């Protein structure tokens, strides 16, 4: 048991899939895992542990933003001795070169945030995925005949902003899309020498205001969920 996760030692698997939304974690557990058990519901952030094709996997929500995923991933890595975390989420595209429903495998996360600097003394403004998860995702996508784009991502503290221009850091690091968690996850994993990856589905095209409807999201995200599950059983 940690400060923010009430699971007992041994109730969290070595590989954890982390959507942002607790209800998305529940959906994955209900629809893909066998013998799944709710092992933590502190603050209504749900963690389920079960089996996928015989492999024990935990699915748990990260919440939104660096502080939230920073806390949960750190406690998973240190208190529960988790080896691998794969974030599965959505992102907004800065460019029409990306399309709704595109699946991205994040190579580097760039951010203006001071999270990595003040937490771990990491000065870089871009941090790569950690360990072998990124390559395993690419391998699994090929096996599933899924088109997955390896790309950099802008990880931002800001959801709403006054200036509509693409932020300077996204231009600097050639980031075609934005989300809010990968940079902190990668920073924690880098410091602790763990595996960390991020798979994203494009849910919004910012320049054109296109977006996946609420009704479409469940089906739209299933390919990403299945990709993460098939990758997870390789660890």
CATH number where 94 lies: 3.40.50.1580
> Which residues neighbour 110 within 8 Å (Cβ) at sequence distance 6 or greater?
125, 126, 152, 153, 154, 155, 169, 170, 172, 173, 175, 183
Residue 60 belongs to what H/E stretch? strand 55-60
Tokens of 68: 């939230």
Task: Identify whether 204 is a catalytic site residue.
Answer: yes
- Residue 60 is assigned to a structural domain of this protein: yes
- Residue 6 is assigned to a structural domain of this protein: no
- Residue 115 is assigned to a structural domain of this protein: yes
pLDDT at position 15, please?
Answer: 98
- Residue 10 is assigned to a structural domain of this protein: no
The Cα 147–Cα 123 span in angstroms is: 33
pLDDT at position 161, please?
Answer: 87
Domain housing 115: 15-232
pTM to 2 decimals? 0.96
pLDDT at position 217, please?
Answer: 74
Looking at the 3D structure of the chain, how many domains does it have?
A: 1
> Which residues neighbour 233 within 8 Å (Cβ) at sequence distance 6 or greater?
52, 53, 54, 55, 57
The Cα 112–Cα 125 span in angstroms is: 6
Catalytic residue among 83, 125, 157, 204: 204
- Residue 56 is assigned to a structural domain of this protein: yes
Q: Which residues of the chain have pLDDT under 70?
A: 218
- Residue 153 is assigned to a structural domain of this protein: yes
- Residue 9 is assigned to a structural domain of this protein: no
């Amino acid at each position: 048991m940690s400060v923010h996760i009430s699971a007992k030692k041994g109730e969290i698997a070595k590989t954890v899939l982390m959507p942002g939304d607790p209800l998305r974690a529940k959906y994955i557990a209900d629809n893909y895992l066998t013998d799944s058990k709710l092992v933590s519901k502190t603050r209504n952030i749900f963690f389920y542990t079960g089996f996928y094709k015989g492999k024990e996997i935990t699915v748990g929500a990260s919440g939104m933003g660096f502080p939230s995923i920073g806390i949960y991933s750190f406690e998973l890595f240190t208190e529960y001795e988790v080896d691998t975390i794969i974030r599965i989420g959505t992102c907004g595209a800065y460019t029409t070169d990306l399309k709704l429903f595109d699946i991205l495998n994040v190579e580097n996360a760039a951010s203006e945030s001071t999270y990595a600097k003040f937490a771990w003394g990491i000065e870089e403004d871009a941090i790569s995925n950690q360990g072998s998860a990124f390559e395993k995702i690419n391998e699994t996508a090929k096996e599933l005949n899924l088109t997955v784009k390896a790309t950099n991502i802008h990880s931002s503290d800001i959801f709403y902003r006054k200036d509509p221009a693409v932020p300077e850091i996204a231009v600097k690091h050639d980031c075609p899309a934005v989300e809010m968690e990968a940079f902190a996850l990668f920073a924690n994993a880098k410091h602790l020498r763990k595996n960390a990856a991020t798979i994203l589905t494009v849910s919004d095209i910012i320049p054109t205001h296109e977006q996946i409807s609420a009704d479409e999201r469940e089906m739209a995200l299933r390919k990403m969920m299945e990709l993460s599950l098939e990758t997870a059983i390789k660890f």
